[in-house]
């Protein structure tokens, strides 16, 4: 996976832009990179080559990433074919054969339009939220290094009464594993309306969404390598939600947007060993944004009430790990699938803050307190982009129960640090440290991958 794709999927950090005022170059994109580091405890040389198209209306990047093993250590991956003694095969082979999922990763990025356009779509690595995140909350399909899927996100914005729609598939080759859709509109908006009352009524937005996993693993779901057991039991895990948002101030430096939401989930269990059922929950939140001359500040808070058999924000950042392994209270991943995590209900909430200084510095932090302790999480990130230099970092800690637990990094936690310096265009020096769960191993564990290298990204513009 490329540095840019990993940053998008795991950290949602913007790519470095040495000139914020200059238009992005358009034409034929050519990319290559070479690096040296350690992946899954293997000393490796990484190689990558890509080709594609860059245009305002669309972009397409195809890229072949390879990791060559410098030392023939005992592999924690298939020993066949023999080339796996030289080439890291964990990213390519599943079940002893070249997998379609691995081949789909050759699509590094595909894009049509931009967010907010009438039609916008993208494929590859995803980092997506639907609405207020009642169901799909900062979901990524690249939470695990060895098993990044190729997903699809699309949106339509009609401009008529605020009518718009979003859709997401976490895995293009297995759309049943994560799917979601949302439709929103401003039903009281009147283009001919005048006066404060008409404007206030026109801001009210109603959204309806659906999301689910039709084959969520249940019971004992995975073997010792983290792969799903053939014939493992599954059941649908599906939810629906509605949201009513009403921005009260949105014309000046300060914007205030309260909202109310309700949701249902089917397929969860209220207690260990109980039969799956249907649960309901509710949420109330408010977002406050202040746009000042040099900085922007956003605060978000919400209260969540879950009934038995219901959880909020089930399809979150590390769901692709959760669906195969349940985290126990000790921070250890068990072999049971996501549908078996007990959801007894209760009250929780969230508080988040984001600060942007010009287009140079972005700081963000979010604490989600879930009635299900294993789903509580702390999410913090920083992004600094100044000219040719970009540094970004993100930390996600799960099962955070007390302040003393911060920094203990249980198995489902993740940390990523990336740096890029365009020292001589189009050449850049890049570095990445990734501390993440790895299920494709003799036993689930967290380890550290470090790669440092040089990349060349060149756009050849057509002759005018």
Beta bridge partners of 106: none
The CB density around residue 115, as the number of other CB atoms within 10 Å, is 9
Split at pLDDT 50, 70, 90, the class of 388 is very high
Instruction: Look at residue 16 and tell me whether its pLDDT is greater than 50.
Output: no
What six digits make up the tokens of 241? 């939600």
Mean pLDDT over 431-441 rounds to: 80
Specify the pLDDT at position 251: 66
HEC sequence for 100-156: HHHHHCCEEEEEECCCCCCEEEEEECCEECCCCCCCECCEECCCCHHHCCCEEEEEE
pLDDT in tens, 299-355: 999 999 999 999 999 999 889 888 888 888 777 778 888 888 899 999 999 999 999
Q: What is the mean pLDDT of the chain?
A: 86
- For residue 202, name the pLDDT band (cuts at 50, 70, 90): confident
For the cut 90, the answer to whether the pLDDT of residue 159 exceeds it is: no
- 431 in Cβ contact with 317 (< 8 Å): no
Tokens of 392: 């970004």
Q: 209 near 134, Cβ under 8 Å?
A: yes
Q: How many CA atoms lie within 13 A of 300 on its CB side?
A: 15
Tell me: the pLDDT tens digits for 389-422? 999 999 998 887 667 777 777 777 889 999 999 9
CA separation, residue 415 to residues 83, 324, 351, 433 (Å) = 31, 20, 20, 8
pLDDT surpasses 60 at 17: no
Q: What number of helices (H) and strands (E) belong to the chain?
A: 4, 26
The percent of residues in the chain predicted with pLDDT above 70, rounded, is 89
Whole-model pTM: value is 0.88
pLDDT at 95 over 70: no
Cβ contact 362:252 at 8 Å: no
**Residue range 221-252, pLDDT digits in tens:** 877 666 777 788 899 999 999 999 998 876 67
């Amino acid at each position: 996976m490329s540095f840019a794709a990993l940053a998008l999927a795991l950290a949602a950090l913007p790519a470095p832009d040495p000139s914020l005022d200059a238009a992005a170059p358009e034409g034929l994109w050519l990319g290559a990179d070479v690096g040296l580091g350690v992946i899954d405890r293997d000393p490796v040389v990484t190689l990558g080559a890509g080709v594609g198209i860059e245009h305002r209306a669309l972009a397409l990047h195809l890229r072949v990433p390879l990791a060559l093993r410098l030392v023939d250590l005992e592999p924690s991956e298939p020993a066949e074919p023999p080339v796996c003694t030289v080439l890291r095969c964990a990213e390519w082979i599943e079940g002893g054969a070249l997998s379609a999922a691995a081949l789909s990763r050759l699509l590094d990025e595909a894009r049509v339009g931009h967010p907010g356009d009438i039609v916008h779509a993208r494929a590859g690595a995803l980092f997506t939220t639907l609405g207020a995140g009642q169901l799909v909350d900062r979901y990524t399909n690249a939470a695990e290094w060895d098993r990044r899927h190729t997903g699809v996100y699309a949106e339509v914005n009609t401009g008529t009464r605020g009518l718009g729609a979003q859709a997401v598939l976490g895995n293009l080759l297995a759309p049943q594993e994560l799917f979601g859709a949302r439709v929103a509109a401003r039903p009281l908006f009147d283009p001919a309306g005048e006066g404060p009352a008409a404007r206030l009524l026109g801001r009210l937005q109603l959204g309806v969404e659906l999301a689910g996993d039709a084959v969520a693993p249940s019971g004992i779901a995975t073997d010792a390598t983290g792969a799903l057991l053939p014939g493992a039991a599954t059941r649908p895990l599906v939810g629906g939600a509605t949201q009513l948002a009403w921005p009260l101030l949105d014309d000046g430096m300060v914007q205030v947007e309260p909202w109310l939401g309700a949701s249902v989930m089917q397929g969860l269990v209220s207690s260990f060993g109980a039969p799956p059922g249907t649960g309901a929950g509710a949420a109330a939140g408010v977002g406050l944004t202040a746009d000042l001359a040099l900085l922007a500040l956003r605060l978000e808070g919400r209260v969540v009430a879950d009934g038995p058999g219901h959880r909020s924000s089930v399809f979150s950042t590390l769901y692709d790990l959760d669906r195969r392994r349940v985290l126990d209270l000790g921070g250890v991943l068990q072999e049971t699938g996501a549908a078996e995590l007990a959801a007894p209900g209760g009250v929780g909430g969230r508080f988040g803050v984001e600060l942007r200084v010009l287009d140079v510095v972005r700081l963000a932090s979010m604490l989600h307190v879930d009635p299900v302790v294993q789903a509580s999480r702390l999410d913090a990130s920083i992004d600094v982009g100044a000219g040719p230099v970009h540094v970004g970092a993100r930390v996600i800690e799960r099962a955070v129960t007390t302040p003393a637990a911060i920094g203990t990094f249980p198995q489902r936690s993740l940390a990523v640090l990336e740096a890029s310096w365009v020292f001589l265009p189009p050449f850049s020096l890049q570095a990445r440290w990734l501390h993440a769960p790895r299920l494709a191993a003799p036993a689930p564990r967290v380890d550290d991958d470090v790669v440092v290298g040089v990349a060349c990204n060149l756009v050849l513009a057509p002759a005018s």
